[in-house]
Amino acid sequence: MRDENFIIEVKEKLEGLLPLKKFKFQVEPHVDNLDPDFVADVSINDVSFKLIGEIIEREGSSIFQKRISQLKFYENQKSDYVPILVAHYFSPKKRDYCKKNKINYLDLSGNVYLSYKNIYIEKTGFINQYPELRKKRSPFSDKASLILRLMLEGDKVWGVRELADEVSLDAGYVSRMFKELEKRNYLIRKNGKGKLQYRNELLTDWIDFYDYMGNEENKFFCLSKGPEEILDKLKNIRISKEIVYALSFQAGASLVAPYAVYNDVHIYVSNKKSFAFLVDKLKLKSVEKGANIFVLNPHYRHSVFYNKQKIQNLWVVSDLQLYLDLYKYPHRGLEQAEHLYEKRLKKMIEVG
Protein backbone atom coordinates (compact mmCIF):
# COMPACT_ATOMS: atom_id res chain seq x y z
CA MET A 1 0.00 0.00 0.00
CA ARG A 2 1.12 3.55 -0.74
CA ASP A 3 1.72 6.02 2.06
CA GLU A 4 -1.71 7.47 2.91
CA ASN A 5 -0.44 11.04 3.39
CA PHE A 6 1.34 10.94 0.06
CA ILE A 7 -1.82 9.72 -1.68
CA ILE A 8 -3.76 12.61 -0.12
CA GLU A 9 -1.12 15.06 -1.41
CA VAL A 10 -1.32 13.55 -4.90
CA LYS A 11 -5.10 13.98 -4.93
CA GLU A 12 -4.84 17.58 -3.70
CA LYS A 13 -2.15 18.50 -6.24
CA LEU A 14 -4.16 17.02 -9.11
CA GLU A 15 -7.10 19.17 -8.05
CA GLY A 16 -4.96 22.26 -7.51
CA LEU A 17 -2.70 22.18 -10.58
CA LEU A 18 -5.22 21.06 -13.21
CA PRO A 19 -8.23 23.20 -14.23
CA LEU A 20 -10.73 20.47 -13.43
CA LYS A 21 -14.47 20.68 -13.97
CA LYS A 22 -15.04 17.12 -12.82
CA PHE A 23 -12.85 15.03 -10.53
CA LYS A 24 -13.21 11.57 -9.04
CA PHE A 25 -10.16 9.89 -7.55
CA GLN A 26 -9.75 6.15 -6.91
CA VAL A 27 -6.68 4.61 -5.24
CA GLU A 28 -5.18 1.31 -6.42
CA PRO A 29 -8.08 0.32 -8.69
CA HIS A 30 -8.14 -2.89 -10.71
CA VAL A 31 -8.49 -2.04 -14.41
CA ASP A 32 -8.87 -5.29 -16.33
CA ASN A 33 -5.39 -6.89 -16.12
CA LEU A 34 -3.74 -3.64 -14.98
CA ASP A 35 -2.91 -2.51 -11.44
CA PRO A 36 -2.15 1.21 -11.50
CA ASP A 37 -1.63 3.30 -8.36
CA PHE A 38 -4.69 5.43 -9.09
CA VAL A 39 -7.33 6.32 -11.63
CA ALA A 40 -8.98 9.73 -11.79
CA ASP A 41 -12.11 10.58 -13.77
CA VAL A 42 -11.59 14.17 -14.88
CA SER A 43 -13.05 16.83 -17.14
CA ILE A 44 -10.93 19.68 -18.52
CA ASN A 45 -12.17 22.18 -21.15
CA ASP A 46 -15.31 20.04 -21.55
CA VAL A 47 -13.14 17.02 -22.44
CA SER A 48 -13.79 14.06 -20.15
CA PHE A 49 -11.24 11.30 -19.77
CA LYS A 50 -9.58 8.97 -17.28
CA LEU A 51 -6.10 9.58 -15.88
CA ILE A 52 -4.25 6.36 -15.05
CA GLY A 53 -1.32 7.04 -12.77
CA GLU A 54 1.90 5.59 -11.41
CA ILE A 55 3.47 7.09 -8.28
CA ILE A 56 7.17 7.27 -7.44
CA GLU A 57 7.63 7.56 -3.69
CA ARG A 58 11.41 7.10 -3.67
CA GLU A 59 14.03 8.69 -5.87
CA GLY A 60 15.84 6.50 -8.36
CA SER A 61 16.43 6.48 -12.10
CA SER A 62 15.83 2.74 -12.14
CA ILE A 63 12.39 3.18 -10.53
CA PHE A 64 11.71 6.14 -12.84
CA GLN A 65 12.33 3.98 -15.94
CA LYS A 66 10.33 1.10 -14.51
CA ARG A 67 7.27 3.29 -13.86
CA ILE A 68 7.49 4.76 -17.38
CA SER A 69 7.53 1.24 -18.83
CA GLN A 70 4.40 0.48 -16.82
CA LEU A 71 2.68 3.61 -18.14
CA LYS A 72 3.60 2.69 -21.73
CA PHE A 73 2.10 -0.74 -21.12
CA TYR A 74 -1.11 0.82 -19.79
CA GLU A 75 -1.27 3.07 -22.85
CA ASN A 76 -0.98 0.10 -25.20
CA GLN A 77 -3.61 -1.87 -23.30
CA LYS A 78 -6.13 0.91 -22.65
CA SER A 79 -6.02 3.61 -25.32
CA ASP A 80 -8.97 5.45 -23.71
CA TYR A 81 -6.92 6.09 -20.54
CA VAL A 82 -4.39 8.93 -20.26
CA PRO A 83 -1.24 7.86 -18.37
CA ILE A 84 0.48 10.23 -15.91
CA LEU A 85 3.55 9.90 -13.70
CA VAL A 86 3.58 11.46 -10.20
CA ALA A 87 6.42 12.06 -7.71
CA HIS A 88 7.51 14.48 -5.00
CA TYR A 89 9.80 16.18 -7.53
CA PHE A 90 11.11 15.67 -11.06
CA SER A 91 14.45 17.22 -11.92
CA PRO A 92 14.70 19.32 -15.14
CA LYS A 93 16.47 16.37 -16.77
CA LYS A 94 13.66 13.97 -15.91
CA ARG A 95 11.02 16.51 -16.98
CA ASP A 96 12.73 16.91 -20.35
CA TYR A 97 12.89 13.15 -20.74
CA CYS A 98 9.16 12.80 -20.03
CA LYS A 99 8.22 15.56 -22.45
CA LYS A 100 10.40 14.18 -25.27
CA ASN A 101 8.89 10.74 -24.76
CA LYS A 102 5.32 12.06 -24.48
CA ILE A 103 4.93 11.09 -20.83
CA ASN A 104 2.53 13.25 -18.81
CA TYR A 105 3.85 14.09 -15.37
CA LEU A 106 2.98 15.99 -12.21
CA ASP A 107 5.10 16.52 -9.11
CA LEU A 108 4.05 17.71 -5.68
CA SER A 109 6.49 20.60 -5.94
CA GLY A 110 4.29 22.19 -8.64
CA ASN A 111 5.70 21.07 -12.01
CA VAL A 112 3.17 19.59 -14.41
CA TYR A 113 2.93 18.55 -18.06
CA LEU A 114 -0.28 17.22 -19.58
CA SER A 115 -0.97 16.92 -23.30
CA TYR A 116 -4.16 15.24 -24.54
CA LYS A 117 -6.30 16.13 -27.56
CA ASN A 118 -6.85 19.93 -27.41
CA ILE A 119 -5.58 20.11 -23.81
CA TYR A 120 -2.06 21.37 -23.16
CA ILE A 121 -0.90 22.26 -19.66
CA GLU A 122 2.73 22.92 -18.75
CA LYS A 123 4.03 24.52 -15.55
CA THR A 124 7.74 24.23 -14.77
CA GLY A 125 10.50 25.95 -12.85
CA PHE A 126 9.36 25.01 -9.36
CA ILE A 127 12.17 23.91 -7.04
CA ASN A 128 12.18 20.75 -4.96
CA GLN A 129 9.89 21.26 -1.96
CA TYR A 130 11.03 17.95 -0.41
CA PRO A 131 14.85 18.19 -0.22
CA GLU A 132 14.94 16.40 3.12
CA LEU A 133 13.83 13.20 1.37
CA ARG A 134 17.11 13.21 -0.59
CA LYS A 135 19.20 13.25 2.58
CA LYS A 136 17.24 10.74 4.62
CA ARG A 137 19.12 7.44 4.51
CA SER A 138 20.68 8.33 1.17
CA PRO A 139 23.06 5.65 -0.17
CA PHE A 140 25.03 8.52 -1.74
CA SER A 141 25.87 10.29 1.53
CA ASP A 142 29.47 10.30 2.72
CA LYS A 143 29.72 7.15 4.85
CA ALA A 144 27.07 5.24 2.89
CA SER A 145 28.97 5.84 -0.35
CA LEU A 146 31.77 3.60 0.98
CA ILE A 147 29.37 0.70 0.43
CA LEU A 148 28.80 1.68 -3.20
CA ARG A 149 32.48 2.37 -3.87
CA LEU A 150 33.37 -1.14 -2.74
CA MET A 151 30.48 -2.92 -4.46
CA LEU A 152 31.14 -1.12 -7.75
CA GLU A 153 34.69 -2.50 -7.86
CA GLY A 154 33.43 -5.84 -9.11
CA ASP A 155 30.36 -8.01 -9.51
CA LYS A 156 30.67 -9.74 -6.16
CA VAL A 157 27.71 -10.74 -4.00
CA TRP A 158 28.36 -9.30 -0.54
CA GLY A 159 27.22 -10.37 2.90
CA VAL A 160 26.35 -7.53 5.29
CA ARG A 161 28.99 -8.34 7.93
CA GLU A 162 31.64 -9.12 5.35
CA LEU A 163 31.13 -5.78 3.64
CA ALA A 164 30.90 -3.89 6.94
CA ASP A 165 34.27 -5.28 8.02
CA GLU A 166 35.83 -4.37 4.67
CA VAL A 167 34.87 -0.68 4.87
CA SER A 168 34.93 -0.36 8.69
CA LEU A 169 31.24 0.39 9.11
CA ASP A 170 28.69 -0.88 11.60
CA ALA A 171 26.89 -3.98 10.32
CA GLY A 172 23.51 -2.56 11.34
CA TYR A 173 24.17 0.56 9.29
CA VAL A 174 25.18 -1.51 6.24
CA SER A 175 22.01 -3.60 6.65
CA ARG A 176 19.87 -0.43 6.62
CA MET A 177 21.65 0.82 3.49
CA PHE A 178 21.09 -2.55 1.79
CA LYS A 179 17.36 -2.18 2.47
CA GLU A 180 17.41 1.37 1.10
CA LEU A 181 19.21 0.25 -2.07
CA GLU A 182 16.66 -2.56 -2.43
CA LYS A 183 13.79 -0.07 -2.20
CA ARG A 184 15.45 2.00 -4.91
CA ASN A 185 15.76 -1.13 -7.07
CA TYR A 186 19.59 -1.04 -7.06
CA LEU A 187 20.27 -4.14 -5.02
CA ILE A 188 19.08 -7.71 -5.39
CA ARG A 189 19.39 -10.41 -2.74
CA LYS A 190 20.92 -13.83 -3.29
CA ASN A 191 20.78 -16.16 -0.29
CA GLY A 192 20.66 -13.17 2.02
CA LYS A 193 23.60 -11.43 0.37
CA GLY A 194 23.46 -8.32 -1.81
CA LYS A 195 24.54 -7.50 -5.35
CA LEU A 196 24.21 -4.25 -7.29
CA GLN A 197 22.10 -3.90 -10.43
CA TYR A 198 21.25 -1.03 -12.80
CA ARG A 199 24.67 0.54 -12.24
CA ASN A 200 24.29 3.16 -14.97
CA GLU A 201 21.08 4.46 -13.42
CA LEU A 202 22.68 4.35 -9.97
CA LEU A 203 25.58 6.51 -11.20
CA THR A 204 23.07 8.94 -12.75
CA ASP A 205 21.33 9.32 -9.37
CA TRP A 206 24.65 9.74 -7.60
CA ILE A 207 25.63 12.56 -9.97
CA ASP A 208 22.26 14.20 -9.37
CA PHE A 209 22.79 13.99 -5.59
CA TYR A 210 26.44 15.02 -5.49
CA ASP A 211 27.48 18.68 -5.23
CA TYR A 212 31.19 19.49 -5.42
CA MET A 213 30.34 22.93 -3.98
CA GLY A 214 29.87 21.17 -0.64
CA ASN A 215 33.67 21.11 -0.23
CA GLU A 216 35.23 23.90 1.82
CA GLU A 217 37.39 25.78 -0.70
CA ASN A 218 40.56 27.67 0.23
CA LYS A 219 41.95 29.86 -2.56
CA PHE A 220 45.68 30.34 -3.03
CA PHE A 221 48.18 31.59 -5.55
CA CYS A 222 51.30 29.56 -6.26
CA LEU A 223 54.08 31.22 -8.23
CA SER A 224 54.42 29.11 -11.37
CA LYS A 225 54.23 29.17 -15.16
CA GLY A 226 51.17 26.92 -15.14
CA PRO A 227 49.43 24.00 -13.42
CA GLU A 228 52.02 21.48 -14.63
CA GLU A 229 54.74 23.35 -12.75
CA ILE A 230 52.63 23.28 -9.58
CA LEU A 231 52.32 19.50 -9.94
CA ASP A 232 56.10 19.26 -10.43
CA LYS A 233 56.65 21.24 -7.23
CA LEU A 234 54.28 18.93 -5.35
CA LYS A 235 55.98 15.88 -6.84
CA ASN A 236 59.39 16.98 -5.55
CA ILE A 237 58.30 17.53 -1.94
CA ARG A 238 59.23 14.79 0.51
CA ILE A 239 55.91 13.89 2.11
CA SER A 240 55.50 11.58 5.12
CA LYS A 241 52.62 9.14 5.54
CA GLU A 242 51.04 11.48 8.09
CA ILE A 243 50.31 14.00 5.34
CA VAL A 244 47.24 12.83 3.42
CA TYR A 245 46.23 14.59 0.21
CA ALA A 246 44.84 13.74 -3.22
CA LEU A 247 44.48 15.69 -6.45
CA SER A 248 41.09 15.90 -8.13
CA PHE A 249 39.11 17.80 -10.80
CA GLN A 250 41.06 18.69 -13.96
CA ALA A 251 44.54 18.39 -12.42
CA GLY A 252 43.79 14.89 -11.16
CA ALA A 253 42.20 13.87 -14.44
CA SER A 254 45.25 15.12 -16.36
CA LEU A 255 47.26 12.35 -14.72
CA VAL A 256 44.65 9.63 -15.17
CA ALA A 257 42.99 10.28 -18.56
CA PRO A 258 44.15 13.65 -19.97
CA TYR A 259 41.71 15.42 -22.25
CA ALA A 260 40.81 19.05 -21.44
CA VAL A 261 43.13 22.04 -21.08
CA TYR A 262 43.08 23.37 -17.51
CA ASN A 263 44.51 26.22 -15.44
CA ASP A 264 43.72 25.33 -11.82
CA VAL A 265 44.90 22.68 -9.38
CA HIS A 266 42.52 21.21 -6.79
CA ILE A 267 43.90 19.28 -3.81
CA TYR A 268 41.92 17.53 -1.07
CA VAL A 269 43.55 17.40 2.36
CA SER A 270 42.52 15.18 5.26
CA ASN A 271 43.30 17.41 8.23
CA LYS A 272 44.78 20.70 9.46
CA LYS A 273 48.30 19.27 9.59
CA SER A 274 48.19 18.26 5.91
CA PHE A 275 46.68 21.64 5.03
CA ALA A 276 49.41 23.61 6.83
CA PHE A 277 52.15 21.40 5.39
CA LEU A 278 51.14 22.00 1.75
CA VAL A 279 50.62 25.73 2.28
CA ASP A 280 54.13 25.96 3.70
CA LYS A 281 56.00 23.69 1.28
CA LEU A 282 54.32 25.11 -1.86
CA LYS A 283 54.68 28.67 -0.54
CA LEU A 284 51.01 29.38 -1.12
CA LYS A 285 49.59 32.88 -0.79
CA SER A 286 45.95 33.26 0.23
CA VAL A 287 44.01 35.33 -2.34
CA GLU A 288 40.43 36.28 -3.17
CA LYS A 289 41.05 36.69 -6.90
CA GLY A 290 43.55 35.15 -9.29
CA ALA A 291 43.81 31.82 -7.47
CA ASN A 292 45.50 28.96 -9.33
CA ILE A 293 45.42 26.35 -6.57
CA PHE A 294 42.46 25.35 -4.40
CA VAL A 295 43.02 23.38 -1.20
CA LEU A 296 39.81 21.59 -0.26
CA ASN A 297 38.51 20.34 3.05
CA PRO A 298 36.28 17.54 1.72
CA HIS A 299 32.55 17.29 2.21
CA TYR A 300 33.04 13.52 1.79
CA ARG A 301 35.35 13.31 4.81
CA HIS A 302 35.08 9.53 5.21
CA SER A 303 35.12 8.45 1.58
CA VAL A 304 36.93 10.97 -0.65
CA PHE A 305 40.30 9.22 -0.20
CA TYR A 306 38.89 5.72 -0.73
CA ASN A 307 40.87 3.94 -3.45
CA LYS A 308 43.15 6.93 -4.05
CA GLN A 309 45.85 6.10 -6.58
CA LYS A 310 49.49 7.05 -6.98
CA ILE A 311 50.42 8.29 -10.44
CA GLN A 312 53.78 9.85 -11.33
CA ASN A 313 54.58 10.04 -7.62
CA LEU A 314 51.40 12.07 -6.96
CA TRP A 315 48.27 10.97 -5.09
CA VAL A 316 45.02 11.26 -7.05
CA VAL A 317 41.48 10.43 -5.92
CA SER A 318 39.77 7.36 -7.41
CA ASP A 319 38.38 7.43 -10.94
CA LEU A 320 34.88 7.40 -9.47
CA GLN A 321 35.56 10.45 -7.27
CA LEU A 322 37.13 12.25 -10.24
CA TYR A 323 33.98 11.61 -12.25
CA LEU A 324 31.74 12.94 -9.45
CA ASP A 325 33.83 16.09 -9.06
CA LEU A 326 34.13 16.81 -12.76
CA TYR A 327 30.62 16.14 -14.05
CA LYS A 328 29.10 19.48 -13.00
CA TYR A 329 32.34 21.45 -12.89
CA PRO A 330 31.87 24.43 -15.25
CA HIS A 331 35.36 24.57 -16.80
CA ARG A 332 35.11 21.75 -19.36
CA GLY A 333 34.29 19.35 -16.57
CA LEU A 334 31.58 17.42 -18.40
CA GLU A 335 33.84 16.80 -21.42
CA GLN A 336 36.60 15.51 -19.18
CA ALA A 337 34.16 13.40 -17.15
CA GLU A 338 32.76 11.73 -20.28
CA HIS A 339 36.29 11.03 -21.56
CA LEU A 340 37.20 9.55 -18.17
CA TYR A 341 34.11 7.37 -18.27
CA GLU A 342 34.96 5.94 -21.68
CA LYS A 343 38.61 5.35 -20.86
CA ARG A 344 38.40 4.13 -17.27
CA LEU A 345 34.95 3.79 -15.69
CA LYS A 346 32.87 2.16 -18.40
CA LYS A 347 34.16 -1.37 -17.83
CA MET A 348 33.40 -1.05 -14.09
CA ILE A 349 29.92 0.48 -14.40
CA GLU A 350 28.70 -1.65 -17.30
CA VAL A 351 29.92 -4.96 -15.90
CA GLY A 352 27.44 -7.77 -16.51
pLDDT along the chain (352 residues), means of 10: 79 91 88 88 92 89 92 91 94 93 95 95 92 72 96 95 96 95 92 93 93 96 96 95 96 96 96 96 96 97 96 97 97 96 95 66
**C-beta separation of 199 from 185 below 8 A:** no
Instruction: Characterise 348 by phi-psi region: left (phi > 0), alpha (psi -120 to 50), beta (else).
Output: alpha
CATH 3.40.630.40 fits 4-123, yes or no: no
Rounded Cα distance, 220 and 201, in Å? 37
Helix axes 199-209, 319-327, angle to 10 degrees: 50
pLDDT score for 102: 92
Rounded Cα distance, 337 and 340, in Å? 5
pLDDT score for 113: 97
pLDDT score for 132: 64
Q: Could you tell me whether strands 119-123 and 285-286 are parallel, antiparallel, or unpaired per DSSP bridges?
A: unpaired
Q: Phi and psi (nearest 5°) for 162? A: -60, -45
pLDDT score for 134: 57
Q: Phi and psi (nearest 5°) for 150? A: -70, -45
Beta strands (DSSP E) in 80-215 are 81-87, 104-107, 112-116, 119-123, 187-190, 193-196
**Cβ neighbours of residue 43 under 8 Å, at least 6 residues apart?**
20, 21, 22, 23, 49
CATH number of 212-349: 3.30.460
**Cβ neighbours of residue 323 under 8 Å, at least 6 residues apart?**
203, 337, 340, 341, 345
pLDDT score for 352: 56
pLDDT score for 199: 95
Give the Cα-Cα-Cα angle 335, 338, 343 (nearest 5 degrees): 125
**Cβ neighbours of residue 189 under 8 Å, at least 6 residues apart?**
182, 195
Query: Residue ranges per domain, the chain?
Result: 4-123, 137-209, 212-349
Give the Cα-Cα-Cα angle 191, 194, 197 (nearest 5 degrees): 120
Class of domain 137-209: mainly alpha
**C-beta separation of 293 from 222 below 8 A:** yes
C-alpha neighbours within 13 Å on the C-beta side of residue 82: 20
